[in-house]
Amino acid sequence: MIDIKLIRTNPDLVKENIKKKFQTEKLPLVDEVLALDEEYRAAVSRADYLRNQRNVISKRIGLLMHEGKKDEADEVKKQVTAMADEMAALTAREDELQGEIRKRMLVIPQIIDPSVPIGKDDSENVELERFGEPVVPPYEVPYHTDIMERLDGIELDAARRTSGNGFYYLKGDIARLQSAILSYARDFMIDRGYTYYIPPFMIRSSVVDGVMSFSEMENMMYKIEGEDLYLIGTSEHSMIGKFINTFLEEESLPQRLTSYSPCFRKEVGAHGIEERGVYRIHQFEKQEMIIVCRPEESPAMFNELWKNTVDFFRSMDIPVRTLECCSGDLADLKVKSLDVEAWSPRQQKYFEVGSCSNLGDAQARRLGIRIKNKQKGNYFAHTLNNTVVAPPRMLIAFLENHLQADGTVTIPAVLQPYMGGKTHLG
């Protein structure tokens, strides 16, 4: 959510930003906010005037009563009653106007970083850099679930019977491999100075509203029936939410956090909850990284976050590339975003395995996350997040890149301690 002061002082900038995101249907919202805000401030000003007048008149009533002028005092009391009625109506109108303003402000997109390339959708994202040499082996690389089935590591039909499409049972060495990857990711991030968390897996609607846009919520979140609780789609939600309505000491920043959680997603509109694959699923596990920092620190923190994911994948000999998201592919809360994509030897192309985002002060403004400063005054923090690893997609990249001609799968040295010393599967 952008600062309403920006809309008051530079509405053209806000409109130009909307155009850069190819959301022209939102342009009228800026003028609507300006009109509502003008009415709101007029109501506040009128209420303040009436409050002041009421105090003056109340003193006059006291004097009249003291002088024995009861009838005159009663007439003045009627003025006070009328003022009280008008003030009550103004207060109700103020609340109504604030709600209407906030409803519009929540869907006006955040001002994007000047470095973001302008484009309509993900087809216009820009490749930045490749890390590692993508290899196409001289032998066939089967579909990832076929590899898992040959290693007796997945049961899809059983999951379909218990839960439907978009679920699976992992078993044996493949289940152990997923746990090993998550354990390695945890230690990898701890070694880089991040504090490890296991957060709540459900959050209240007030937190949901603070961390994501309404359209994202509708397409992602599962609501707990009869409760003000939602299952998280990523641990970023509860990790950023833990700072709601807090004042942070400048000396405590930046705060670097890494969190493990299961994740639950509807995947509405994701054509293809694949019946056989584990690329898009309703339930998975993930290791996340989150930073809360001062505004001037966020560009450096953004670079730190995506490099962590690149280094993590390269430590397991998986080629990756970074892709900068264009303006039309940015969610409304994001200032800047970059995807990390892993190489798929079977498809002979890269696919997304992590998304690094700088949200500026958007989440902090919605959730009331402020930094204390006695000299300059308190100000909003910046929040950033990135995926360390999400094993379903990671398993695809891992199995395809480490599959050997004889059907075995090699285990990189960094994972072997988490796999009981095994050097290969199969």
Q: In the CATH scheme, what is the homologous superfamily, with its name and number, of domain 4-105? A: Serine-tRNA synthetase, tRNA binding domain (1.10.287.40)
Tens of pLDDT, residues 392-420: 889 999 999 999 999 999 999 999 999 99
Q: Is 70 exceeded by the pLDDT of residue 270?
A: no
Domain layout of the chain by residue ranges: 4-105, 122-425
Residue 199: pLDDT band (50, 70, 90) is very high
Tens of pLDDT, residues 5-33: 999 999 999 999 999 999 999 999 999 99
Rg, Å, the chain Cα set: 28
b/e code 186-204 from CB counts within 10 Å (16+ = b):
bebbeebebeebebbbbbb
* CATH fold for the domain made of 122-425: BirA Bifunctional Protein; domain 2 (3.30.930)
pTM for this entry: 0.88
DSSP labels, 77-88: HHHHHHHHHHHH
What is the average per-residue pLDDT within 140-164?
93
Tens of pLDDT, residues 318-337: 999 999 999 999 999 999 99
Residues contacting residue 394 through CB under 8 Å, at least 6 positions apart: 181, 342, 353
b/e code 160-176 from CB counts within 10 Å (16+ = b):
eeeeebbbbebeebbeb
DSSP labels, 44-69: HHHHHHHHHHHHHHHHHHHHHHHTT-
Distance (Å) of CA 317 to CA 287, 310, 356: 19, 11, 21
Phi then psi for 89, rounded to 5 degrees? -65, -40
The helix or strand, by DSSP H or E, that contains position 33, with its residue range, turns out to be helix 27-66
- Burial (Cβ within 10 Å: 0-12, 13-18, ≥19) of residue 52: exposed
CA 120 remoteness from chain centre: 21
